[in-house]
């Protein structure tokens, strides 16, 4: 006998008009569970952390992590051939996750990676244990960077040099940035990734590299990077502007990779052009990991059309998740992880599950469905109904 047809899953979602509109879920896309070939791009996913909702803490003040679920998600990313960029802003670094907890996260992730052949991991080193208002001199910033870099290197980790709020506060010119980066880059044991995080992600970083104008700031950044090319694996740029990334990419010294952090234009930047391409270090790869892995596999096989076919429907989803205020994008990343069963709850460090509206979640749900990324529609349907009910939407 034929199996009975499954009834379509439908629920009423709020629309921008305020009315409820029936929405029927579609079947998810099927992606490979493992990559069939090595990727032609280095690809890191900036991974989120799973909060512990049963901890006896004050969620706005204290970070409590569900370590088992957090590490399980990293194993999921590694199984798809993606690297893990650890303790970045996707993990609420400096936005609820403090340095001692970040270092414990880095230690546990490095330990987990050692048991997985080929697992790629690099970890964020910044100055977030130094409150910006307590930074008085450039030497204060240098010392803070040195402490975090030394701690990660002592664990055997590779380093991503994160942008520093303290440096943005005390620096008075591009020369001040050059002095700080020169000091720390001369000391690192292995080539690092430099992260330029734009003010749309963190308003405290406006004017980084000594200029508010991004193109003038780029001049400063490129000079520092190219002067230390032997100490730099690559640079991650997060300005959400494809033209600026391409311009900077073409100015980097040979051997220095560009890692796109552009969650609006990643598909075209990774595909590249006749002159070059970007690699990836993306927060959105946390949310779209199966599609990202499948697309990168197609690109490695020379199937550029298939690469774009897979990623094209994920771009509207990513642009929605990262819409202004962009710093709240982490809420959408965790929401999608909850819908797909990677965690049992929708609670976040700092209570940031409340950072987006129900209308935002409803549209995210529609876009994730359109991208084929609701891997278990029945579970996603059930969990979305729960969220709707918590907001007073029944039926």
**pLDDT attached to residue 6:** 66
Alpha-carbon span 287 to 230, nearest angstrom? 33
Mean pLDDT value of segment 67-73: 98
How wide is the angle at C-alpha 325 spanned by C-alphas 216 and 13, nearest 5°? 145
The 10 Å Cβ neighbour count of residue 385 is 16
Integer Cα distance of 211 and 220 in angstroms:
9
Residue pair 361/367 in contact by the 8 Å Cβ criterion = no
Residues 6+ apart with CB under 8 A from 382: none
332 burial (CB, 10 Å; 0-12 / 13-18 / 19+) is buried
As beta bridge partners, residue 237 has 196, 260
312 pLDDT band (50/70/90 cuts)?
Answer: very high
- pLDDT tens across 105-162, in order? 999 999 999 989 999 999 999 999 999 999 999 999 999 999 999 999 999 999 999 9
The SS3 of residue 389 is helix
The pLDDT value recorded for residue 2 is 47
- What domains does the chain contain, in order, with CATH numbers? 40-306 (3.20.20.70)
> Is residue 3 pLDDT above 50, yes or no?
no
237, two tokens: 């740029």
**C-alpha torsion sign, points 275, 285, 185, 166:** positive
Residue 189 has which token pair?
Answer: 């044991």
- Picking from 28, 30, 40, the residue whose alpha carbon sits closest to that of residue 303 is 40
What value does the mean pLDDT take over residues 348-373? 97
> What pLDDT score was predicted for residue 8?
87
CA distance 290 to 267: 15
What is the mean predicted confidence (pLDDT) over 67-83?
Answer: 98
Burial class of residue 49 in the structure, from the number of CB atoms within 10 Å of its CB (0-12 exposed, 13-18 middle, 19+ buried)? buried
pLDDT-derived band at 5 (thresholds 50, 70, 90) equals low
Helix intervals (H) in 115-205: 138-154, 165-170, 174-185
Mean pLDDT (the chain) is: 96
pLDDT at 264 over 80: yes
What Cα–Cα distance (Å) separates residue 342 from each residue in 74, 246, 338?
11, 35, 6
The yes-or-no verdict on residue 202 having pLDDT over 90 is yes
Q: Note whether 222 and 251 are within 8 A (CB).
A: yes
Mean of pLDDT values over 70-90: 98
- The average pLDDT across 317-344 equals 97
pLDDT, tens digit (0-9, with 9 covering 90-100), for 20-30:
999 999 999 99
User: What percent of the chain is modeled with pLDDT above 70?
Assistant: 98
CA distance 265 to 94: 26
Q: Give the C-alpha distances (Å, rounded to integers) separating 270 from 226, 276, 282, 290.
A: 22, 9, 11, 16
**Is the pLDDT at 55 greater than 60, yes or no?**
yes
Q: How far is CA 16 from the centre of its chain?
A: 28
Number of neighbours of residue 117 by Cβ within 10 angstroms: 7
**Strand, coil or helix: 28:** coil
pLDDT score of 394: 83
CA distance 250 to 235: 12
């Amino acid at each position: 006998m034929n199996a009975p047809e499954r009834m379509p899953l439908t629920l009423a979602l709020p629309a921008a008009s305020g009315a409820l509109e029936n929405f029927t879920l579609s079947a998810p896309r099927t992606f490979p569970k493992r990559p069939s070939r090595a990727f032609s791009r280095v690809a890191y996913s900036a991974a989120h952390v799973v909060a512990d909702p049963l901890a006896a803490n004050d969620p706005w003040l204290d970070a409590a992590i569900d370590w088992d679920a957090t590490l399980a998600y990293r194993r999921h990313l590694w199984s798809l051939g993606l690297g893990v960029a650890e303790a970045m802003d996707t993990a609420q670094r400096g936005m609820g996750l403090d340095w001692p907890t970040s270092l414990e996260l880095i230690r546990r992730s490095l330990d987990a990676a050692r048991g997985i052949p080929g697992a790629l991991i690099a970890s964020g080193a910044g100055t977030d244990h130094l409150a910006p208002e307590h930074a008085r001199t450039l030497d204060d910033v240098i010392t803070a960077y040195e402490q975090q870099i030394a701690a990660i290197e002592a664990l055997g980790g590779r380093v991503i040099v994160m942008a520093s709020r303290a440096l943005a506060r005390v620096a008075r010119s591009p020369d001040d940035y050059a002095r700080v980066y020169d000091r720390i880059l001369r000391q690192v044991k292995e080539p690092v990734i430099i992260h330029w995080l734009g003010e749309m992600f963190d308003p405290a970083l406006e004017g980084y590299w000594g200029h508010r104008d991004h193109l003038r700031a780029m001049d400063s950044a490129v000079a520092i990077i190219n002067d230390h090319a032997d100490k730099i694996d690559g640079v991650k740029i997060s300005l959400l502007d494809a033209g600026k990334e391409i311009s900077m990419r073409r100015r980097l010294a040979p051997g220095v990779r560009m890692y796109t952090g552009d969650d609006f234009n990643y598909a075209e930047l990774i595909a590249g052009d006749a002159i070059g391409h970007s690699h990836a270090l993306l927060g959105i790869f946390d949310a779209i990991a199966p599609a990202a892995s499948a697309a990168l596999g197609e690109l490695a096989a020379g199937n550029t059309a298939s690469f774009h076919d897979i990623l094209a429907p994920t771009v509207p989803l990513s642009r929605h998740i990262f819409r202004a205020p962009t710093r709240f994008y982490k809420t959408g990343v965790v929401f999608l992880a909850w819908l797909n069963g990677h965690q049992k709850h929708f609670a976040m460090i700092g209570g940031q599950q409340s950072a987006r509206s129900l209308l935002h979640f409803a549209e995210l749900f529609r876009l994730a469905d359109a991208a084929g990324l609701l891997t278990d529609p029945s579970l996603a349907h059930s969990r979305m109904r729960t969220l709707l009910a918590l907001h007073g939407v029944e039926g």
